C-alpha cells in the first residue's frame, strides 16, 4: 500500500510543485547523457550546434508542460530564459530553431532512442519498487491523426487509418488515426510496454506482441496475471499468457455460442448429474476443485448426495485448466478472486486518461506511425520519470528532516 500511495498520482503531485522547482526535480530523475551522445554528430566540421542533451530535455519537457508543437516549444525556449536554462541550454545563445527541434526529433525516431529510454526507465522503476509487475492490464485507446484524412482506397495499411470501437456505453466511435496499445502495471498505474498501430488493427491481435515484449526484455521478473477486456477473448491471448507462466483474466465473449459444452456452464463450472452447477472450492496447481451443491446447501437436490457419492463430503470434481485455456481459469471464472482481479483492469484506462488529459498523447503534430510512436514514447517517459522524481524528492525531504 505504501508503494501505491506514493506513486499512483506522481504526475499530479509533481505538477502541483511550484513552476520554478518542477522541472529541476523532474530532470533530476533522468540521466540523459548516454542517449544524447547518440544524437551528436561525429563530424568535426561545421558550426557548433545546440546541446543535444538540452534539446532532448526540451522534447521531454514539452508534454510535461502541455506544449504540443515544435513551434510552441521554440517560442517557450525563446521567450522564457528560466525554461531554456532548466532544459540545459546556454542562455547566451539563441534558442534552437523549429527546424533544429524537428531534425533532432527525427533522429530520435530513426535511432529509436525514446523507446530505449522508456524501457530503461521501466527497469529502473521496477528495481526501485515503484512498479510491482505481477499484474498487468492491457488495452488500447484512439489517437487522432495529424495527417489529412484519406478514403480507404488511398490508405497504405501502415500509417493512419479509419478505426471504430465501442465505448463503455456501447456507442460506436470512429476516428482517423492510430491506436495506442498499452500494457500497464496495475499497482502503480505506470506503462511498461506500448505499441502503435493504424486505427483499424484489432485489439486482440496486439495482446501477444505486448506480452512477448515484456517477457523478452527481462525488466520484470514474473507476471502472474494479465488483465484484458472481452475484446481480447481469443485463444492466442490465453496461450501467450500460459506460455510465460501467467493467467489471463478476460471475460468470455460468447459470440454465437448457443449452448455451453456438455456437462458445463458457459463460464466453465461443471454441472452434476442432476444438472446443477457445482460449487467452486479452490484450486491446487493446474486443477480447479468443485463440490456437490446439495452438500453445501446451495440447492435442494431431490436425490440427495447418495445419488452421486456415498461420502458426507459430497461428490468432488477436479478440472485441469490446461484442458481448455480459454474456458477454464485459475482462479475460477466469476469467483470473488477472479472478479477482484478483473476490476484492476481499470488501471490501464486511468493511465490512458493521464496520457491524453494531463499530457499531449492525443495532440499529434507529426505524421507517420514511427514519429507518432516516438511522440507517445516521450509522453509515457514523462509518467515514469515523474514517479522516479517524486520518490527521489520525497527521500531527499526525509533525509534533510532527519
Q: Domain residue spans in the chain?
A: 2-40+49-113+388-401, 116-252+343-373, 257-331
Lowest average pLDDT, out of 41-45, 310-314, 378-382, goes to 41-45
Bridge partners of residue 184, in order along the sequence: 137, 191
Split at pLDDT 50, 70, 90, the class of 95 is: very high
Tell me the whole-structure pTM to 2 decimals.
0.91
pLDDT value at 16 more than 50:
yes
Q: Torsions phi, psi of 184, nearest 5?
A: -125, 140
Beta sheet of 279-284, edge-to-edge order: 279-284, 287-291, 316-320
Domain 116-252+343-373 coded CATH 2.60.40:
no
Per-residue cell: 272: 452434476
Instruction: Report the candidate in 226, 197, 205, 203 with the shortest Cα–Cα distance to residue 214.
Output: 226
Task: Say what the pLDDT of residue 148 is.
Answer: 80
Instruction: Report the candidate in 364, 356, 363 with the shortest Cα–Cα distance to residue 383.
Output: 356
pLDDT value at 369 more than 90:
yes
Lowest average pLDDT, out of 16-20, 157-161, 202-206, goes to 16-20
Lowest average pLDDT, out of 3-17, 73-87, 306-320, 340-354, goes to 3-17
Distance CA(227)–CA(186), nearest Å, equals 9
Task: Say what the pLDDT of residue 42 is.
Answer: 58
Distance CA(238)–CA(210), nearest Å, equals 13
pLDDT value at 20 more than 90:
no
For residues 130 and 387, the answer to whether their CB atoms sit within 8 Å is yes
pLDDT value at 47 more than 60:
no
- Mean pLDDT for the stretch of residues 147-158: 70
Task: Say what the pLDDT of residue 157 is.
Answer: 63
Helix 52-64 and helix 70-79: axis angle, to 10°? 110
Q: What is the share, in percent, of the chain residues with pLDDT greater than 90? A: 77
Helix 369-401 and helix 19-27: axis angle, to 10°? 100
Instruction: Tell me which residue has cell 534558442.
Output: 95
pLDDT value at 9 more than 70:
no
For residues 211 and 151, the answer to whether their CB atoms sit within 8 Å is no
* Integer angstrom CA distances of residue 346 from 239, 341, 349: 23, 10, 5
pLDDT value at 123 more than 50:
yes
* Integer angstrom CA distances of residue 59 from 27, 52, 360: 12, 11, 12
- Mean pLDDT for the stretch of residues 246-255: 92
Amino acid at each position: 500500500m505504501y508503494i501505491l500511495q506514493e506513486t499512483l498520482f506522481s504526475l499530479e503531485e509533481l505538477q502541483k510543485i511550484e513552476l520554478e522547482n518542477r522541472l529541476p526535480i523532474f530532470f533530476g530523475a533522468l540521466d540523459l547523457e548516454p542517449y544524447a551522445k547518440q544524437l551528436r554528430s561525429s563530424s568535426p566540421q561545421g558550426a557548433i550546434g545546440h546541446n543535444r542533451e538540452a534539446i532532448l530535455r526540451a522534447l521531454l519537457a514539452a508534454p510535461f508542460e502541455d506544449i504540443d508543437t515544435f513551434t510552441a516549444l521554440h517560442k517557450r525556449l525563446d521567450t522564457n530564459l528560466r525554461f531554456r536554462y532548466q532544459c540545459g541550454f546556454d542562455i547566451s545563445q539563441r534558442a534552437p530553431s523549429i527546424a533544429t527541434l524537428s531534425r533532432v526529433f527525427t533522429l530520435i525516431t530513426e535511432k529509436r532512442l525514446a523507446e530505449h529510454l522508456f524501457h530503461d526507465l521501466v527497469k529502473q522503476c521496477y528495481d526501485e519498487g515503484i512498479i510491482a509487475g505481477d499484474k498487468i492490464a492491457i488495452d488500447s485507446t484512439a489517437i487522432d491523426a495529424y495527417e489529412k484524412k484519406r478514403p480507404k482506397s488511398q490508405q497504405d495499411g501502415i500509417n493512419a487509418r479509419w478505426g471504430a470501437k465501442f465505448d463503455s456505453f456501447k456507442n460506436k466511435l470512429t476516428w482517423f488515426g492510430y491506436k495506442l496499445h498499452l500494457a500497464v502495471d496495475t499497482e502503480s498505474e505506470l506503462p511498461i510496454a506500448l505499441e502503435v498501430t493504424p486505427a483499424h488493427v484489432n485489439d486482440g491481435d496486439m495482446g501477444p506482441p505486448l506480452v512477448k515484449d515484456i517477457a523478452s526484455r527481462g525488466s520484470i521478473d514474473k507476471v502472474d496475471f494479465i488483465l484484458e477486456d472481452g475484446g481480447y477473448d481469443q485463444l492466442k491471448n490465453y496461450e501467450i499468457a500460459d506460455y510465460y507462466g501467467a493467467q489471463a483474466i478476460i471475460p468470455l465473449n460468447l459470440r454465437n455460442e448457443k449452448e455451453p459444452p456438455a456437462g458445463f456452464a458457459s463460464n466453465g463450472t461443471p454441472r452434476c448429474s442432476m444438472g446443477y452447477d457445482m460449487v467452486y472450492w479452490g484450486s491446487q496447481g493446474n486443477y480447479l476443485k468443485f463440490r456437490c451443491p446439495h452438500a453445501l446447501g446451495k440447492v435442494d437436490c431431490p436425490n440427495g448426495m447418495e445419488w452421486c457419492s456415498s461420502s458426507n463430503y459430497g461428490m468432488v470434481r477436479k478440472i485441469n485448466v490446461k484442458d481448455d485455456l480459454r474456458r477454464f481459469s485459475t482462479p475460477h471464472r466469476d469467483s470473488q478472486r477472479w472478479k477482484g482481479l478483473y476490476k484492476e483492469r481499470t488501471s490501464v484506462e486511468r493511465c490512458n486518461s493521464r496520457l491524453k488529459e494531463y499530457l499531449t498523447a492525443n495532440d499529434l503534430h507529426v505524421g507517420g506511425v514511427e514519429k507518432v510512436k516516438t511522440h507517445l514514447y516521450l509522453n509515457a517517459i514523462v509518467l515514469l520519470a515523474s514517479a522516479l522524481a517524486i520518490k527521489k524528492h520525497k527521500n531527499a525531504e526525509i533525509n534533510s528532516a532527519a
